[in-house]
Amino acid sequence: MPPLMLFDLDNTLVNRNQAFQGWALRFLTDRSLPPADLPWLTTLDCGGYLDRQTLLRAAIDRYGLFERLEALLEEYRDTVTALIHCPPAHLEALRDARAAGWILGIVSNGATEHQQAKIERTGLAALVDGWVISEEANCAKPDPRIFQLAAERCGIATGTSWIDTAWMVGDHAPADIAGATVVGMRSAWLDHGRAWPEIDYAPTLIAGALPEAVAAILAAPRTAEGYASADSVVIG
């Protein structure tokens, strides 16, 4: 069975936080609101884990806006999608993994239309074998079902052995790494300069950037038997 490498989308494959800041600055500028409020919006965003409607309702209340929530949501999605970016080094890392014989997939929490637009706009659709988005799947990370569904959409027969050569790469501990842990997959956590935050579980590898994580996975033993230690291996 070919080995499987699954990836989170936002802040793993694509720079979602950068796109959010671009939207937030445009939101403030277009309405003649204080640019100094950018940190307020960024903090409230919680790296994308606050519901968009809640964030925009809070902005409406803070600034006394007389705009429809639906219109603001549409503006947000269009702007973030237009600003989303997948670094060339990330695309090259995926090409390297594919050339090495790996099956590639994306597992993303979020709204189907918005997340799929990101996948298609950045060229990721042509580089992976399949993807699953929580809204359309009716389950979300860390639910084990979403990882199994992703594997199936990538053409993997999900019997008892599919996890033996599978990896999950992501930046969010409770969704990506906890999810991989409960499924039984190995995992690589992108620290983005942060310390590992959990005590009950840990990733197999910790890397500063996606290309480093992919390179380490390609160099690792194909099965989990090569990892005898419970401690994470830090790359870079």
Domain that holds residue 42: 16-83
What pLDDT is stored for residue 110 in this prediction? 92
The answer to whether 103 touches 136, Cβ cutoff 8 Å, is: no
Please compute the mean of the pLDDT values over residues 167-190 and round it to a whole number: 97
- What region, left, alpha or beta, does residue 193 occupy, with left being phi > 0 and alpha being psi -120 to 50 degrees? left
Looking at the fold, whether 67 and 120 belong to one and the same domain comes out as: no
Per-residue pLDDT tens digits for 99-132: 999 999 999 999 999 999 999 999 999 999 999 9
Share of the chain above pLDDT 90, in %: 88
- Token pair listed for 96: 């390297």
- What region, left, alpha or beta, does residue 144 occupy, with left being phi > 0 and alpha being psi -120 to 50 degrees? alpha
Looking at the fold, whether 75 and 103 belong to one and the same domain comes out as: no
Q: What distance in Å separates the CA atoms of residue 27 and residue 141, rounded to the nearest whole number? A: 30
131 sits in which H/E element? strand 130-133
What residues contact residue 185 under an 8 Å CB cut-off, 6+ apart?
6, 147, 163, 166, 167, 168
pLDDT band at 233 (very low <50, low <70, confident <90, very high): confident
Give yes or no for residue 38 having a pLDDT over 90.
yes
Angle at 208 between CA 207 and CA 213, to 5 degrees: 40
Looking at the fold, whether 211 and 111 belong to one and the same domain comes out as: yes
Give yes or no for residue 229 having a pLDDT over 50.
no
Please compute the mean of the pLDDT values over residues 14-18 and round it to a whole number: 95
Per-residue pLDDT tens digits for 128-144: 999 999 999 999 999 99
The answer to whether 79 touches 11, Cβ cutoff 8 Å, is: no
Looking at the fold, whether 158 and 184 belong to one and the same domain comes out as: yes
Looking at the fold, whether 105 and 75 belong to one and the same domain comes out as: no
Q: How many residues does the chain have?
A: 236
Indicate the number of domains in the chain: 2
Q: What distance in Å separates the CA atoms of residue 97 and residue 113, rounded to the nearest whole number? A: 27
Looking at the fold, whether 79 and 112 belong to one and the same domain comes out as: no
